[in-house]
Structure formats: structure tokens, C-alpha cells
Chains A and B, each alone.
Chain A
Amino acid sequence: MTEGAALIDGGARLAAMLPPGWIMMLGALVVPLLRGPVRQGWMLALPVLGLFQMLALPLGSEMSATFFAYELELLRFDSIARAFGLVFHSAAILSVVYAMKNDSALEGSAALVYSGSAISAVFAGDLITLFICWELTAVSSVFLIWASGNERANRSGMRYLIVQVGSGVLLLAGTIIHYAETGSLAFDHLGLVGFGTGLIFVAFGIKAAFPFLHNWLQDAYPNATVTGTVFLSAFTTKLAIYALARGFAGTEILIPIGAVMAVFPIFYAVIENDLRRVLAYGLNNQLGYMVVGVGIGTEFALNGTVAHVVAHVIYKGLLFMSMGAVLYRVGTVKASELGGLYKSMPITTLLCIVGAASISAPLTGGFVSKSMIVSAAAEEHYTVVFLVLLLASAGAFLYLGIKVCFFAFFGQDRGFRVKEAPLNMLIAMGGAAALCLGIGMFPGTLYGLLPYPVDYVPYTVSHVVTILQLLLFSVLAFAFLRKAGLYPPELRSTLLDSDWIYRRMLPWINDGLAFAYNRAVDRGLGPARGLLSQVMSTVERIHRPDGVLGNPWPTGATTLWAAIMLFALLLLSY
């Protein structure tokens, strides 16, 4: 055998030993050692290699390892995992191209570990492996937020990390309880059958940004770096959708949850000023569709969910990329400060329009995928849900597509004369836009990748006309509201939705309690302040280095304690 052949053979065998995603995770460790073009090439090579390795695997491949006494299934390669693996790899490649000019080694390795762990999570065949990858995505992705390097991002990242790790802890607890109940660690259909699976469900729900569990998303994504947000938008939530589809397909409760998710973010998107935050709300809204699809749980609905994940990862990535480009060039994505950028960034404008259209316009990815979920709802006679989804679709287009494009690139010209986005960003956006259109025009390829056979034809006259009517109506509505001056003005403000509960209401309740307490105290109960802060400050006071518990006691105290403990032991035994 020649040397080259031996090398290829060795490489192939090495690749065969690693589950998909691991190439990126391991390769990421080398990134900090490289510089300049070598690093850029290496970072691009990793997801490309990973993609090839995955494509080389035959369906049904398995790989396992022993961890403690448990057999871990590191690789389960079936059609649903393949579809997610494919879109995750594509997203990783596009995002790496987009981030090519970013020199931060920390961010680069974090992004690769993050993408790699999300990919290996998709191939995990048991709950322990899933948990490990789950936590890895959490820990690695937070660096994409912290890399922004400002105080706001630090705090937001910390909140993000707490929520994500919390989700992991719930997953682990659920796994252990599930194991105790059933003796199985396999990650197959779980269903809401016990306390353990309930915990797992909530863990997935946090990552999937269920209503009231969603705030981390709108909080963290807009605070990440320009390139970090693009990575973030692709993986975390879609991993959760995958996990739900695998474990909880056909769980009815998901349908109302998803329907609520599809609607409520739109209202926030209307009044939000930060355009990346608007997109984050849009992300949440589209997740609602996927959750509904999982909840319906028929083969057709699951196909729709997977298809929508594919389309959504790409067009949402494209939208975040274009807003990232704006942020990169202009320095802000506040709707109230932007306008008229189409003159200076024409290509970005065009690509952003493609991305916005892809939310649901015909000939784009969103049209052929989302309609499957909506039709599935109709087929299974969820009439209310069907109508809600249809309207949400128009609303999403109105407030996400039109608003983002309009305020950033058209609207009032604010006089920004900036350069077009850098070439690598344009290439990444171009690639994403091409994929959006490609999927929309040739849906057959996408349908061929879905887990179940598809006999769905998206381009029927009635469907196209319905959607076009909706879209035209929403354009009309936007234009009317603008003209009539009814459209909510873009205000400089921080928008709080249900994170209001913990960022405003809890302090408020605390203040209220403190007030009530003080009133009571004034009437003769002794001096004291707010109850909660009292406890917290007490904890700090006694644990500080100069506090009782944080400070070494004199020897005599220890002796006294020894005597007390001796006494207690004797007392117990008599």
C-alpha cells in the first residue's frame, strides 16, 4: 500500500471510530494554537470533514462505549438523526464562513465545540450521552455571549448559563428517576408517563423555549457577538425540538403549548426595538410550529417538523447574519436608529429580503416546510390550532420579515454611509439564501431526507393563493398602519415580557413585603428590613472571611464542639 493510501485508510478508520460531531469537538481544541489563514482553513475544514464523515456512514450504524456499568450508545444513525445532522453540519459550515474574520480563538473553539456537541447530541442513543452533550452545548455556547465583553453580556450570559445548566440538571434527575422506574436508559419514545419523564419533558421544554420558560432566549441571543448569535440561533433550540420529536412525539399537551408559542412572541416582536431581539422573538414563534408538529405526532406532522427545522435553521441564520452584518458595519441594530441602508448595503438588503420571504412566501424554504405542519393540523382536525397557525404565519411575516427589512434597510434614511458587508459574510449569506430558494423551488430533495415517506405537494393553486392572500394582506396592514400613524413607534426601551416576573415582580414583591414588614415593625415588632435581603445578607455576613462560619474559630471553640459532639453521640446511644 502506498503511503497516501495508508494515510487515507488510517484517517477513514479513525473517523469510523468517532461519532459525528466529535471531529469538530476534538479539532476545536487545536484552534487556539493556530493563527491567521491556517486557523481559518482548519475551522472550515472541521465541519466539512464532519459532514463527509457523516455522509459516509450507512443508515443504521451504531457505536457504543461502556461508562460505569452502562452501555452508552454514542451513535444511532437513523433517518431522523441524519436529517438533523445534515442541517446542523450545513449550519456550522455557513456560520464558520460567516465568522471567518473573527480573530478570537476562544470564540472559535467555543463555537466549534458547541456545534460539535449539538451534532453528537442528535446521534445520542441513550439519555446519559444526551445529557453529556446537552451540558456541553450549554457550557460551550455561553462563551459566545461572554465574548461580547461588556457587562450586559456578562450578566445575560450568566443568566443563560444558569437556565441551561438547570435544564441539564433536570434532564439528569429525570434520567436517573426514569432509570430507577424502568431500568432503561434508552433514548426512544418516552411519553409523559411518570415523574422522571415529566422532568425530562421540562428539561427539553426549557431548551425549546416553551412559553414562560423562554426568556433566556430573547435575553441572551441579542447580547451575543455578531457571529455568536448566528451559531446560537442554529443549534440550542433545534436540538430541543429534536429531543422532543424523539421522546415525546404525539404528546397532546404540546399542541396547545406550541400554538401559544406561535402567537405570543409576535406581540412582543411588534414593540421591540432591538432588531436582533425581534428576530429572537421570531425564532420563538417558529419553534411554536415545530412543537405543534411534534405534538400532533403523525408521520406527516413529524416530517413537517423536521422539514421546518431544516428550512428554519437556514433562513433564521440568514436573517441573523444580515442583522449581524448591519451591527458589524453600523454598530447598532436599534430600529429607532437605523434606516435607508439599502443604498450602502444593497447585497445584504437583497439577501435579507430573501431570508424574510423565506418565512412563508412561495418558492422559499418556509413555504414548503411550514405548510406541512399547518396541513397536518388541519388533517387531524385541530381546527382552532390550524387557524391560529395560519394567522401567526401572517403575523410573523408582517412583524418579523417586513419590520426587520423595512426599518433596517428602508424607512427613514438616517444618513449612514457604510461599506457593504465583508466578503466572507456575503458568501455565507449567499449560501444560506441559495439554500432557502433551492429548498423552496425543489422541495423533492428536502422531502427525500425526511424520516418518513412523503407524498405531499406544496404547490397547489389553493395553497399558493391562500398564502399569497395572507402575505399581501399583511403587507397592506403594515402600509396602512404606517400611513395612519397607528404603528407603534420604535422606542428606546428594554422590553420585559414574562422575565418581568423575576426581573421586576420579585423585587417588587420583596419591596412590598419589606414595606408591609416595616409597617408591622413600626407598630412594635422590633427593627428589621426586607425579609429576603435580610436572609441573603445574613448568609453573606456569616460566611464572609470575617463572619462566624467563614472564619476559623479559636481552638477553644473546636474543643467545645468536640465535647458537644461526644455528648450528642452518647445521648443518642442511651
Chain B
Amino acid sequence: MSEHFPALQVLLPVLTAPLCLLLRHPTLVRVLSLAVTVGCLGISLALMEQAREVGTVVYEFGNWPRPLGIEYAVDTTNAFVLVIVSMIAAVVLPIGCRNSQVPEGREYLFYSAFLLCFGGLLGVAITGDVFNIFVFLEISSLATYILIAMGRDRRAIMAAYSYLIVGTIGATFLLIGIGLLYQMTGTLNIADLAVRLEDVKETRTVIVAFAFAMVGISIKLAVLPLHHWLPNAYTHAPPVVSAFLSATATKVAYYLMLRFIYTILGAGFVFDVLQFDVILTPLSLAAMFIGSLAAIYQTDFKRLLAYSSIAQIGYMTLGLSLNSELGAAAGIVHLFNHALMKGGLFLVAGCVLLRVGSTAIVDMRGLGSRMPLTASALVIAGLGMIGVPGTVGFVSKWALVSAALDQQAWQITVLILLSSLLALVYVWRLIEVMYLTEAPEGAERREAPPLYLIPTWILVLASVYFGFNTESTLGVARAAAHQLLGGAG
């Protein structure tokens, strides 16, 4: 059984999705989906365990050896991503599709779309085949468009539409890149690609392939000038979807970037020959500042979170652009840490939306007394965004700062610290509104139901717990980075 875990990891959600369509019974579908996400979480943890033991778990479909067959290859890096994705899914899914446009009795549509998106993301992370990556990326993206369009008002449809256009452009770019690589090497298997590319690396075709693939992935990752789809999509999607996507979708894209740079093309080629960091570093720094500044001036809580995500993605790509093991580890650990914080914050937005009926910041006045548990969850997760010690945010920032210092990049260190002051400003705005202003006349004093609060607090408490217990996050991230960089030289 356990040797089939890699296949089950993806097949379970992908096959359950059509099953949900057939079953239709609300409770049954709900329970089934929950069971699947929890099962996937268990499988991903087991895979992580196996990968830590043997290095890379390889699963060959139909026992066809590479490069003939399709294989799944799990090393520490993607096992970590699998754990993040399935963990967030298992935590947020119980809330279900409340506060969305899904009509009563049609919940099964939401669950099958969610499971497809979930399975697609897992597939991107687990597969060892570049074409497979494209296929799974499309599966998850198409499901994502549906999920976003389920938001409460019409703007959600517009947001989903523009994400559809931009996302498709991104996927196409990626496909062009993959196609060019295939043209040069005749293989789609990642491990095989890495070997065969050695001889043809300096050719123009491979360089063009790289450029296309990177731009494609950057769109999915929402790297600064390509980020425009993100704020609208996250703002208008149902809260659970925002929480899930913000915590997983960009993370998987980041994983893809790591995989393409370190495993397929090799860091030496990407950074020394192609000088990718010349572009990536300024974009990351710009993202950190522009994202945070835009967050400061937003008037809507969810949109504020979306812009802060852009800044946080800047931190991740900055770690990557440092081109060192420490830098990659900082990026990888921030995947996990940011997933906890931002997932928690979007769930807080869900609580607010449920009780207040809007996520406009002016409507959150006096929330500290109206919804004390929700407001305090926001404060704790917000402290993480600032990077206060004792929260995961500090772990990330620490890892990133020490990576920057390791490269003697003083200016970058200073900029990182400055930009975290901007996070202080936008979190402070929220605290001020919630605690230091009076609630509007006649505002309802009602806490969100446990169904919302429990997942929210799980993520928030985890963001504190992993601020102290860093072995299972930063330790694993460092091991992953070591394996990633060691494997590709």
C-alpha cells in the first residue's frame, strides 16, 4: 500500500471530484471531501517521512522506466509543498462554501471544483514530468477560475475572467517553454531533461525556453509586474477559496520556479550565464515595497491581504534570487509560514464577512469588542506578518536576513527590515480600527460560529507554535534546499 502513496496522493482527490458530481447529496459529499483531504494530508506526511529517509521516492506508472513512462518523484522539497497544500486544504475545507453564490443544494459543485483544484496543485508538485506539470496546472487553474467566480457578488465573475485570461497566457508561456525544451532534448522527464540539457545548454533555443517558462511561472506566482490578477481574485473569491489559494496556489508556482532553476537548468546556468537575478532581485524588492505600500492604503481588508501577499511573494523570490542554499531555504520555509499566516488572515476575513456583512475596513470598527476571538486571531496573525519574534514571520525573516548577510548583501538586509516596518503600518491600521475606535451604532455583537473559528485558530496557533518549534519547518526547508542545490550542482 505505502509504495502506491505517490499515485494515491493525486488520484484520490482527482477521482473523488467526479464522484461528488454523481453523489450530489450535500452531507455525503461534504464528508467524503473532508475524508479525502484528511487522507491526503496523511499520505503527504508519510511521503515526507519516506523522502527524508531515502532521498527521492520514485514512482513509475505501470512500471515503465524513465524516460519512457511517466514518473512521480518526491524529494524533500516537493514533499514539503505537498504537506503545505494538503494541510491547508484539510483545515479550511470544513467551512465549506458559505458566503458564496453557490445555491442551496448545489454544494457538490463547489466540492468537486475544490477537489479538482486541490488534486491539480498536488499533481503539479508531485510529478516528475514537465508535460504532466502543464496538464495538472491547467486542471487546477480551470477549477480555480470556477471557485473564484463563486464569490458573493458579480465582481467575482469579472475577477475570475481576468484571471482566466492572464492565467491562460501564463500556462501558454510555460507550455511554449516546455515544448522548446522537448524539441532540444526529446524528453519530458525532469531527471532525464537535466542530464540531456547539459550538452545543449548554451543554445539559443534553451535560452528562449527558459525565458518563456520563467515568465509563465512568474505570472502564476504573481511576481510584481505580473501580479495584477491576484488582488481582484483574492478579494472577490469566497473566503475559504481565498484562504486556500493564497496559501497554496502561489506556493506551488514558487516550487515550479525552484524546480526549473535548480533541477532542470541548473543554478550555475540560470544565475551566472543568464543572470536571472539581475531581473529577479529588483522585482522582488519592488514587490516588497509596492505591495506593502499598496496594502497600507487599501480600504478593504481582503484587498489589503492580497496586496500584502504580493509583498510576501517578494520575500520568497528574494530568497531565490540570492542564489544560495540559505536563500532557497528561506524561500521554502516562508512558503509554509506564509501559508499559515495568510490562510489564517483570510479565514478571519471570512468570519468578518459572515457577521459584519462586508470586509471594508471602516466596517470593522470596534471589532475588538464585537468579535473578540476573531479580532485577537487577526492580531496574532498580524504580528506574524510584521515578523515579531515568537511567530513564524520572525522565523522567515530571520532565515531571509541571515541568507542575505551570508552573501554580504547589506543593502538588501536593510531593505528587508525597512519593508517589515511597512507591514507594521498596515497591521497597525487594522488594530487601530478594531480596538481604538468605537463600534458603529447598533452594530451586532456576535462572535463567528465555531465552524469558522476553529480552523482560523488552528492556523493562528500553528503560526505561533512553529515560531518556536523551528526544527520541523526551517530544519526541513534547509534539508530540502540542500538536496535541491546539491542535486543540480
Contacts and interface: CB of A to CB of B under 8 A. Distances in A.
B partners with A? yes
A558 B229 CA distance: 8
A545 interface: yes
Given A558-B166, A570-B207, A540 B297 contact: yes
A572 B388 contact: no
Interface string A540-574: 10011101011011110111011011101110111
Contacts of B468: 67
A566 B297 contact: no
Interface string B126-163: 00000000000000000000000000000000000010
Interface string B273-315: 1111011000000000010011011111001000100000000
A403 B38 CA distance: 70
Interface string B434-450: 00100000000000000
Interface in B291-345: 293-294, 296-300, 303, 307
A553 B227 CA distance: 9
A573 B272 CA distance: 10
Contacts of B207: 570, 573-574
Interface stretch (B3-11, B83-91, B188-196, B397-405): B397-405
A570 B204 CA distance: 9
A547 B405 CA distance: 35
Interface stretch (A131-139, A277-285, A459-467): A131-139
Contact of A572 (B225, B232, B275, B298): B275
B401 A562 contact: no
A146 interface: yes
Nearest to A68: B470
Contact of B274 (A180, A557, A565, A572): A572
Interface in B381-408: 388-390, 395, 398, 401-402, 405
Contacts of B225: 558, 561, 564-565
A447 to B, nearest CB: 37
B273 A565 contact: no
Contact of A132 (B390, B413, B428): B390
Interface string A186-201: 0000000000000000
B165 interface: yes
A552 B293 CA distance: 14
B231 interface: yes
A505 B204 CA distance: 59
A545 B274 contact: no
Nearest to A563: B215
A540 B294 CA distance: 8
A573 B211 contact: yes
A545 B303 contact: yes
A286 to B, nearest CB: 31
A139 B388 CA distance: 10
B173 A543 contact: no
B298 A545 contact: yes
Contacts of B296: 543
A434 interface: no
A495 interface: no
A550 B215 contact: no
A572 B294 CA distance: 30
Interface residues of B, number: 55
A569 B210 contact: yes
B224 to A, nearest CB: 9
B458 interface: no
Given A132-B389, A135-B388, A543 B228 contact: no
Given A562-B219, A565-B218, A566-B211, A547 B297 contact: yes
Contacts of B274: 569, 572-573
Nearest to A67: B470
A573 B201 CA distance: 12
A372 B390 CA distance: 40
Contacts of A158: 428
Interface size class of A (residues with CB under 8 A): 35 or more
A165 interface: yes
B208 interface: yes
Contact of B214 (A146, A540, A569): A569
Interface string A261-283: 00000000000000000000000
A72 to B, nearest CB: 11
Interface in B199-247: 207-208, 210-212, 214-215, 218-219, 225-226, 228-229, 231-232
B417 interface: yes
Contacts of A496: none
B297 A573 contact: no
Q: Which of A132, A544, A566 has the most CB of B within 10 A?
A: A566
B165 A555 contact: yes
A570 B209 CA distance: 10
A146 B162 CA distance: 44
B46 interface: no
Contacts of A553: 228
Contact of A555 (B162, B211, B389, B402): B162
Contacts of A90: none
A223 interface: no
Contacts of B389: 131-132, 135-136
Nearest to A572: B275
A566 B290 CA distance: 21
B169 interface: yes
A555 B165 CA distance: 7
Contacts of A547: 297
A127 to B, nearest CB: 12
Contacts of B395: 68
Contacts of B459: none
A165 B424 contact: yes
A528 to B, nearest CB: 22
Given A545-B298, A558-B166, A558-B226, A569 B211 contact: yes
A555 B279 contact: no
B411 to A, nearest CB: 13
A566 to B, nearest CB: 5
B348 interface: no
A541 to B, nearest CB: 9
Contacts of B276: 569, 572
Nearest to B166: A558
B198 to A, nearest CB: 18
A570 B307 CA distance: 29
Contacts of A543: 290, 293-294, 296-297
A48 interface: no
A476 interface: no
A545 B297 contact: yes
A327 interface: no
A139 B294 CA distance: 25
B474 interface: yes
Q: Which of A549, A554, A574 has the most CB of B within 10 A?
A: A549
Contacts of B297: 540, 543-545, 547, 550
A549 B293 contact: yes
Q: Which of A139, A173, A543, A557 has the most CB of B within 10 A?
A: A543
A132 B395 CA distance: 12
Contacts of B436: 146, 149, 154
A561 B226 contact: yes
Contact of A569 (B170, B279, B300, B388): B279
23 contacts: A67-B470, A68-B395, A68-B398, A68-B474, A173-B417, A176-B401, A176-B405, A177-B405, A547-B297, A550-B297, A550-B307, A555-B228, A555-B229, A562-B218, A565-B279, A566-B215, A569-B215, A570-B207, A570-B208, A572-B279, A573-B274, A573-B275, A574-B207
9 nearest A-B pairs in the assembled complex, by CB-CB distance: A561-B225, A569-B211, A550-B294, A132-B389, A543-B293, A573-B274, A553-B228, A543-B294, A544-B297
Given A169-B421, A558-B166, 7 more contacts: A177-B405, A549-B290, A550-B307, A562-B218, A569-B211, A569-B274, A572-B278
